[in-house]
Structure 1
Amino acid sequence: MNVLLSGGTGFLGQAVTNLLTENNHHVYILTRNPDKYKNKPLVSYIEWLTDSAAPESDLPDLDAVINLAGESINNGRWNDTQKKKIYDSRMEATEEILRIIRSLDSTPSVLVNASAVGYYPPSETKIYTEQSSERGEGFLAQTCVDWEKKALLAQDEGVRVTCARFGIILGKKDGALPSMALPYKLMAGGTVASGRQWLSWIHHKDAAKAILFAIEEDSLEGPFNVTAPNPMRMKEFGQTLGKVLNRPHWIPAPGFALKLALGDKSALVLEGQKVLPKVLQEKGFEFEYPALHDALYAIYS
């Protein structure tokens, strides 16, 4: 397949690129700075989102498009400027993806667009699947709602659209896990706030596999949760992380301190949702790391 990928130089994008090329698919990565990278077998870098860019003129017929582009939610404190950057980067990138699709002579079969489990309201008691009608309030939820709505406009071009609602993606060097592991490495790990908040997580390899699965599974359409089938409460997550790192879980982190340090971004660790990957499981997706201990052990071994 020929696959167009935005966000291909980021944490998840690199995992997706590796998986696609391992399966002999050619990946065309959209980037503002193609000169920073060297094309290699099955990977080409295409300029976009600059005044002179016309990516559609440099692309072959495409089988699939993956849109992961957007300012990382892990970057910086969530002040008004940063929240605008997070929101606008997703809307701008998705609008450009739609323009590219409309400009192509041959329409790709599928668009896999990123989203997040922040779509759902925080709860310590509810279980959410793709069939859940509730949606959250506030910045992150509204960003997810608007992002999915914009991506679904590709259906007007005859494209099958899937929206991947990612949980916390676990990796050793990128994403949220390094920040979560740091207190343990400093012998200062412990329960965050009440510890009862849910954390819906997924190993980065399973997240990449889920994207390829969504491309290949023609019956998959609309939202699908990209989370492991065994979410954990924050206290149990921390205890498991401590065991894998051979560090104690003993110093609590009070919620008010995190709010002071992180602002609105503190919601990522103080609030959570128990989200299950019902669609992936019903379609026959097989997780390589369904259990947290195994996922963390694979990351840190």
Structure 2
Amino acid sequence: MAVCGGTGFIGSALVSYWLQEGHEVIIVTRQIPTADRKSSASAPRYITWEELESSPEVMEGLDALVNLAGSSLNQRWTEKGKQRILSSRLNSVRAIAVLINKLQKKPAVIVQGSAVGIYGTSRSEEFDENSPTSKQDFLSDVALKWEHEAASMVHSAVRIVTLRTGVVIGNEGGAYPLMRLPFLLGFGGRVGSGQQWMSWIHLHDIVRLIDYAVMNPAITGPLNAVSPTPVMNDEFGRTIAKILGRPYWLPLPALLLKIALGEQATLLLDGQRVLPRRALEQGFTFQFPTLIEAVTDLKRHK
């Protein structure tokens, strides 16, 4: 198995899961951690993108390649920042396309990262993998270009799964620690109107879903990585407050967010109601299908 972006929030959890399952894992990263230059039998092997370009043969015979590489959305959306977010995603896909063409024995499946933002935002519509995509804003534009670039690396011998990810909640990274913080400090409340949908998934479930997609040849094309029970922001906040035993009272005005964050405020103020139709049709079972189960688990393991 190979994971591009295997040192990130989702990638590192996936690597740990596969190592525990007894798989050999290669992590493709920009810079190899100094302490991990020498890997043991129970540790992943690291390779840089530059090393991969000069020595593609290390990837011969992979069972699967997962590409989660991309610059974080949690940065200032200046023109340079937005270009960094987009180019990091496109460049990783292009590098993988070059790699695939060089390999004699290509991986059986590629799981390519994407995002539910590709559907655009809506408070009334419901989306699944059969829904049309929409270019509405920066996030949907990035997702569309990301998937279009990924389509160029399709090879007849390789199955492609496009992982459209929602808000991944976990204790060690992603958005959840920041979303939880106001409640821990005692002044949590709704964000904006609170009526925007949040399509979320527990970190452990997205890792299991990636593994499930790799192991099941029937799964191909877009795959929504979200729980079957999306919630509105108001319910999300009330659930966190309830599980943490904290008050729910101080709203965060949309205008304040727009002044502070500018275009980036869309991450908190806009959303979409996305369902994992394909995962459910293919028999995947969520360990944390409801938000109260997910937040309770995160509190237990904090």
Q: TM-score range by the shorter chain?
A: over 0.9
| Counterpart for residue 29 of structure 1 | 27
Conservation of the 8 A alpha-carbon contact between 1:167 and 1:226: yes
- Please report how far the alpha carbon of residue 227 of structure 1 lies from its aligned counterpart in structure 2 after TM superposition: 0.2
CA distance in 1, matches of 2:6, 2:52: 20
CA distance in 2, matches of 1:49, 1:263: 33
AA matched with 1:175? G
| Counterpart for residue 182 of structure 1 | 181
Deviations 1:142-168 (A, max 9, x none): 111111111122323521111000010
Deviations 1:213-232 (A, max 9, x none): 11111011110100000000
| Counterpart for residue 61 of structure 1 | 61
AA matched with 1:248? P
131-140 vs 42-51, which moves further: 42-51
AA matched with 1:221? T
Query: Please, what TM-score do these two structures have when normalized by structure 2?
Result: 0.95
Q: Structure 1 291/153 Cα, relative in aligned 2: closer, same or farther at 3 Å?
A: same
133-142 vs 288-297, which moves further: 133-142
Structure 2 residue matching 1:34: 3-state secondary structure: coil
Matches within 5 A, 1:132-143: 132-143=131-142
- Please report how far the alpha carbon of residue 53 of structure 1 lies from its aligned counterpart in structure 2 after TM superposition: 5.0
Deviations 1:98-150 (A, max 9, x none): 11111112011110001011111211111000001142422111111111111
| Counterpart for residue 14 of structure 2 | 16
Structure 2 residue matching 1:155: 3-state secondary structure: coil
Structure 1 residue matching 2:50: 3-state secondary structure: coil
- Please report how far the alpha carbon of residue 15 of structure 1 lies from its aligned counterpart in structure 2 after TM superposition: 1.0
Q: Structure 1 196/88 Cα, relative in aligned 2: closer, same or farther at 3 Å?
A: same
AA matched with 1:80? E
| Counterpart for residue 45 of structure 1 | 45
Q: Structure 1 174/153 Cα, relative in aligned 2: closer, same or farther at 3 Å?
A: same
Conservation of the 8 A alpha-carbon contact between 1:47 and 1:55: no
Conservation of the 8 A alpha-carbon contact between 1:25 and 1:42: no
277-286 vs 150-159, which moves further: 150-159
Query: Please, what TM-score do these two structures have when normalized by structure 1?
Result: 0.95
1:272 pairs with 2:267: no
Matches within 5 A, 1:240-259: 240-259=239-258
CA distance in 1, matches of 2:271, 2:113: 19
AA matched with 1:24? G
259-268 vs 204-213, which moves further: 259-268
- Please report how far the alpha carbon of residue 23 of structure 1 lies from its aligned counterpart in structure 2 after TM superposition: 1.7
Structure 2 residue matching 1:173: 3-state secondary structure: coil
Unaligned runs of 5+ in 1: none
CA distance in 1, matches of 2:152, 2:52: 25
- Please report how far the alpha carbon of residue 8 of structure 1 lies from its aligned counterpart in structure 2 after TM superposition: 0.3
How large is the RMSD of aligned CA atoms in angstroms?
Answer: 1.5
Matches within 5 A, 1:155-166: 155-166=154-165
148-157 vs 208-217, which moves further: 148-157
284-293 vs 96-105, which moves further: 96-105
CA distance in 2, matches of 1:136, 1:242: 35
- Please report how far the alpha carbon of residue 52 of structure 1 lies from its aligned counterpart in structure 2 after TM superposition: 8.6
Structure 1 residue matching 2:66: 3-state secondary structure: strand
Conservation of the 8 A alpha-carbon contact between 2:121 and 2:270: yes
285-294 vs 76-85, which moves further: 76-85
Conservation of the 8 A alpha-carbon contact between 1:34 and 1:45: no
CA distance in 2, matches of 1:33, 1:269: 31
Structure 1 residue matching 2:161: 3-state secondary structure: strand
CA distance in 2, matches of 1:43, 1:153: 32
37-46 vs 21-30, which moves further: 37-46
Unaligned runs of 5+ in 2: none
CA distance in 1, matches of 2:8, 2:235: 29
| Counterpart for residue 222 of structure 1 | 221
| Counterpart for residue 166 of structure 2 | 167
AA matched with 1:25? H
Structure 2 residue matching 1:26: 3-state secondary structure: coil
CA distance in 2, matches of 1:247, 1:267: 26
Deviations 1:29-88 (A, max 9, x none): 0122225224232543333333895241333421111000000112x2211111111000
Q: Structure 1 77/35 Cα, relative in aligned 2: closer, same or farther at 3 Å?
A: closer
